Structure 1
Amino acid sequence: MLWSFVHDISLGDIILSPKKETRKLLIGIVTGPYLYDPKAIDRDYPNIHAVEWKGVIPYDNVPREIWRSMTAWQTLFELSSPEAVNAALRLMESIQTGVTPRPIETPERTAVAMDEGQRLFDETMSKSMEILATHFDGFSGWEFQELVWATLKAAGLYPKPLRKGPDQTVDIEAYRDPLQLGPPRILVQVKHRRDPVSGPEMQQFIGSMNREGDIGLYISTGGFSQAARQFAEKSHKPVNLMGWEDFVNLFLEVYERLDNTFKAWIPMGTVKILLRRKEEVQRD
């Protein structure tokens, strides 16, 4: 997420920011380059892009193309369809020309209900991610390492037992075969903190991959610095980077296969929400 915030946002880009509390969408334009300034707003939020907010749109007036393109489980993302991009441009144009966007008209009452179902699903996913983030923040480094071990096991790998001790270059050693003979040997480093992984930390990890066929997996809840990413890309051995969102997506995907001990750490339930009408399914 931090990489995208720093490198993918450009001057003049349109920014959309949903506010669930007020059910309104803020729309603005980026007016300045990326800045790192811990004193500007809050030391916990030192990464900054200046945005001039142009308007506030009620959720009911936001084009459907925009909602459908939004990725609820990510904090920062780019609209994924040309229709959504065009809808955002039209929305900005209507604000700049003083034309109030009209509420979305739906020919059938069911269509309104279905849009509400999709919206409820998106909001529920977003809130669930926020709750998980807060819950995981309370884990110690060792506890989070245990959770990663269990998640990899549930994903079909065969990790060796964990060894508790001082911080190590490699935290988990896993294999694809049950006898753990390999290759490949999958070496995993886990960092559970707010700071991104530095270049020297990545170099040290890459240096530990000294066997034929070794594969690296670096999991960091604080993301990765630009230098760390560059070292990983240029590594003589494949190094896979997994940030916060990627790890949570994997965790949710394999949750039902987790050992009961770890499920008890993070008890989760299932909610069924109707997203599509029967007629839409039949047309597909």
Structure 2
Amino acid sequence: MKTTWMVRAGRGSENIEEFLRHGIVAMGDARLGPLSPSQSKADMLRLYAEKYPEEGEGTRATWASQSARFVSEMKSGDGVITYDSERRLYFVGTLSSEYEWAPQLIDSKPHMRRVKWTGRVSRDGLSASARNSLGAIQSLFKLGPDVAAELAEQAVALDTAPEQTPPVAPPVARPVEGKPRSDAELSAEMFDKAGAFVEDAISRLDWEQLQHLVAGILRSMGYQTRVSEPGPDRGVDIFASPDGLGLQEPRIFVEVKHRPGTPMGTKELRSFLGGRKANDKCLYVSTGGFTKDAHYEAERSNIALTLITLPRLRELLLERYEQLDAPTRAMVPLQRFYWPAR
């Protein structure tokens, strides 16, 4: 099987739209200037020492190793994946160029390779072993053959309609290929993986359970909630206010969409906001994330509207977990985990 690489689209997948629109993967940073495949890892180490004297030697060594792999080790024809954390989708493609310096595409990531994106894979359909391996904190790493094979088997064409895929039962996790990491890197990876597995647990809830989870989080903040009964003409999914009757402000209206892989757009937001009053507060929860236009729509809205993605819902759950009532905690049971501070 051909070599396959993970290249992350920035923190929180912030550059995923540019990756897909331009057909690229890219890495930082501009301070290095253009690089060359003829540069050895030792050359990279010297360059990082010159450009980042304030950073520790271990940090510079990690960065130099990743840059060297991106510039020299990755080859046209290799497989490549990236991840959209809002939609919980891995995008699968093939590298179609050697290294290029392209600061005009993404300011923060001028080191670029072209990609032919061909498919996508829902994180919810992968085995726990694959999800654990793909949770590595590095911006760039080589996939093990088992994970690459599973992604290839699960991939569907980009224009295929999304569907709900039940999560696979967890097998024993396999390690990601690579050399031993520092304590700081291992710590960051543990917390990153833990967050991803909490999101997996939330994603496994059905739609009604997710509504009650959101309502439970609001109750932990001091609000009284009312969850609409299933059926047509429901109005809003959750209503919350200090008194539970809406006589005291804030009056909070909540819409909950549990469609992993399907982002909500401006049409859905406008439908939800129809009939809301100027002083109303609105939350729109979508486990499939939101389109870029939907984010712009929320920012311009005359009615206070907050968009809650699955990563943000996970953050709220963890922030409020100790204050949640027992039925809410039971939907996503978590246990405390200790890790050395340094």
**Normalised TM-score (structure 2):** 0.49
Quick one: which of 170, 194, 198 aligns to 2:236? Answer: 170
RMSD: 3.9
Paired residue type of 2:338: K
How far is the alpha carbon of 1:154 from its aligned partner? Answer: 1.3
**Alignment gaps of 5+ in structure 2:** 1-11, 30-64, 77-88, 100-134, 140-178
Tell me the alpha carbon deviations over residues 4-45 of structure 1, each in whole angstroms, 9 at most, x when there is no partner. Answer: 4115898784169xxxxxxx968537x9xxxxxxxxxxxx64
Paired with 1:253 and 1:215, the residues of 2 have a C-alpha distance of 21
Paired with 1:76 and 1:167, the residues of 2 have a C-alpha distance of 44
Aligned ranges for residues 39-118 of structure 1 at < 5 Å? 45=90, 116=183, 118=184
1:150–1:262 Cα contact (<8 Å) kept: yes
- Structure 2 residue matching 1:160: 3-state secondary structure: strand
Q: Who is 1:185 aligned against? A: 251
Taking a change above 3 Å as real, the CA distance of residues 185 and 131 of structure 1, as seen in their structure-2 partners, is: same
Paired residue type of 1:6: E
Q: Who is 2:266 aligned against? A: 199
Paired with 2:203 and 2:238, the residues of 1 have a C-alpha distance of 21
Q: Who is 2:187 aligned against? A: 121
1:220–1:244 Cα contact (<8 Å) kept: yes
How far is the alpha carbon of 1:143 from its aligned partner? Answer: 1.0
Q: Who is 1:5 aligned against? A: 16
Tell me the alpha carbon deviations over residues 237-259 of structure 1, each in whole angstroms, 9 at most, x when there is no partner. Answer: 12111111111001011011111
Paired with 2:92 and 2:282, the residues of 1 have a C-alpha distance of 28
Taking a change above 3 Å as real, the CA distance of residues 51 and 190 of structure 1, as seen in their structure-2 partners, is: farther
1:3–1:224 Cα contact (<8 Å) kept: no
Paired residue type of 1:204: S
Aligned ranges for residues 130-149 of structure 1 at < 5 Å? 130-149=196-215
1:232–1:239 Cα contact (<8 Å) kept: yes
Tell me the alpha carbon deviations over residues 244-284 of structure 1, each in whole angstroms, 9 at most, x when there is no partner. Answer: 111100101101111112222222111222223xxxxxxxx
Taking a change above 3 Å as real, the CA distance of residues 238 and 7 of structure 1, as seen in their structure-2 partners, is: farther
Q: Who is 2:27 aligned against? A: 14
Tell me the alpha carbon deviations over residues 198-230 of structure 1, each in whole angstroms, 9 at most, x when there is no partner. Answer: 221111012131x24111111111111123223
- Structure 1 residue matching 2:303: 3-state secondary structure: coil
Paired with 2:92 and 2:269, the residues of 1 have a C-alpha distance of 22
How many percent identity over aligned positions? 27
Quick one: which of 232, 235, 254 aligns to 2:298? Answer: 232
**Alignment gaps of 5+ in structure 1:** 17-23, 32-43, 55-74, 80-102, 105-111, 277-284
Taking a change above 3 Å as real, the CA distance of residues 7 and 175 of structure 1, as seen in their structure-2 partners, is: farther
2:225–2:238 Cα contact (<8 Å) kept: yes
Paired residue type of 1:201: E
Paired with 1:216 and 1:253, the residues of 2 have a C-alpha distance of 20
Paired with 1:205 and 1:189, the residues of 2 have a C-alpha distance of 7
Q: Who is 1:260 aligned against? A: 326
Taking a change above 3 Å as real, the CA distance of residues 6 and 260 of structure 1, as seen in their structure-2 partners, is: same
- Structure 2 residue matching 1:151: 3-state secondary structure: helix
Segment of structure 1 superposing worse, 163-172 or 221-230: 163-172
How far is the alpha carbon of 1:134 from its aligned partner? Answer: 2.5
1:28–1:52 Cα contact (<8 Å) kept: no
**Normalised TM-score (structure 1):** 0.58
How far is the alpha carbon of 1:120 from its aligned partner? Answer: 3.7
Paired residue type of 1:14: M
1:219–1:242 Cα contact (<8 Å) kept: yes
Paired residue type of 1:242: I
How far is the alpha carbon of 1:119 from its aligned partner? Answer: 3.4
Segment of structure 1 superposing worse, 163-172 or 257-266: 163-172
Paired with 2:94 and 2:209, the residues of 1 have a C-alpha distance of 34
Taking a change above 3 Å as real, the CA distance of residues 212 and 222 of structure 1, as seen in their structure-2 partners, is: same
Paired with 1:181 and 1:134, the residues of 2 have a C-alpha distance of 37
Paired with 1:249 and 1:51, the residues of 2 have a C-alpha distance of 37
